[in-house]
Chains A and B, each alone.
Chain A
């Protein structure tokens, strides 16, 4: 038997979690409730974050970028008119999550807390250079995606800590794209790629992150710097793709073998780069 409590503020939620070590925070519940019903997890209480006003909203961040409340639903992100240019990829990713029911129920904070390596937000956030904001009994901290993800399904979240927001740095005007290859629409990605262009001139560059091919998205800033100014050079793109594939650590699962994923990475990364450069 477990109970649901619905605090009105972040402080109340944190205090309740601290006082009840067997309680779990619950965001939208799209994955968590299914796992509870399948008796995979248990809790004395589920602390619903749904009534906390401070976890809602999409707006400018103090740092001059964009702040997305942890309890924003995938549908709200998919429909957000502010997500253009360098942030367009986030909108695309949110719109490709599962199905309409899950997009209405699930939240970005919950998805990030669950940290499924094949889920859609992580590569986009890694590509954007986003920070995950965590609040717990010891206060607030913000971590880059690479520091937040520790291992397969393992994050830096401490017991009693919750994801309160995502902060994106100023996005740049360049186009961005999220490409997802899945067995069927709505499935988790077999391989996914987020790509954003920086600058418009001949020395412009791209930021690229590959998802579903390791415990965390793959991003290589040195390789990105080496590719700067050579976005129309097929040999340079091929070398860049090979560098990312070398860093992948995919698994064999129902969505594809590790070997298949390694073959997909160069093709999908090259296609994503063509998407943002307009080459065909």
Chain B
């Protein structure tokens, strides 16, 4: 399933660039993220709790940076599984930054992701709505964090 979006942040591009590469800050903004840490130069580990109706699924994710152009673009791949259960997620992601006017950064993202196992029960139509509401939550938290540190 492919999804994309973009949102502006009232902060200069280098500040946003540093923020998206800071696992501690990202962990505070990603809904349900319980832990995030850097493994080496290009890989990260994270644990994310996804709740959907009566189902709570805790995914252990590995995120690998495949390519990055400083201040402009990050291409990454994430995959993860839910403990011993047969639930898996995987995604390829592209994030680009631009500064349409000084002091405002436009963050554009796109992802191609798949999910199987327990959460697959709900079908892609509903999953799309869930991803949309989670990303809206992230955008709100991320923009708030950056604007607060810029102020």
Contacts and interface: CB of A to CB of B under 8 A. Distances in A.
Interface of A: 24, 32, 35, 38-41, 114-116, 151-154, 215, 249, 251-254, 258
Given A40-B121, A151-B133, A152-B133, A115 B53 contact: yes
Contacts of B123: 251, 253-254
Contacts of A114: 53-54
A30 B86 CA distance: 25
A40 B118 contact: yes
B118 A253 contact: no
Given A152-B130, A152-B133, A253 B53 contact: no
Give the bracket for the number of chain B residues in contact with chain A: 10 to 19
B52 interface: yes
Contact of B126 (A24, A32, A38, A152): A152
B129 A32 contact: no
Contacts of A24: 54
B58 to A, nearest CB: 12
B102 interface: no
B137 to A, nearest CB: 10
Interface of B: 51-55, 118, 121-126, 128-130, 133
Nearest to A155: B53
Given A40-B121, A253-B123, A152 B54 contact: no
B126 A35 contact: no
A111 to B, nearest CB: 13
Nearest to B134: A151
A32 B55 CA distance: 11
A41 B125 contact: no
Contact of B125 (A38, A39, A215, A258): A258
A32 B53 CA distance: 11
A251 B53 contact: no
Contacts of A258: 125
B125 A35 contact: no
28 contacts: A24-B54, A32-B54, A35-B54, A35-B55, A39-B118, A40-B55, A40-B118, A41-B54, A41-B55, A114-B53, A114-B54, A116-B53, A152-B126, A152-B129, A153-B52, A153-B53, A153-B122, A153-B126, A154-B53, A215-B129, A251-B126, A251-B129, A252-B124, A252-B125, A253-B123, A253-B125, A254-B123, A258-B125
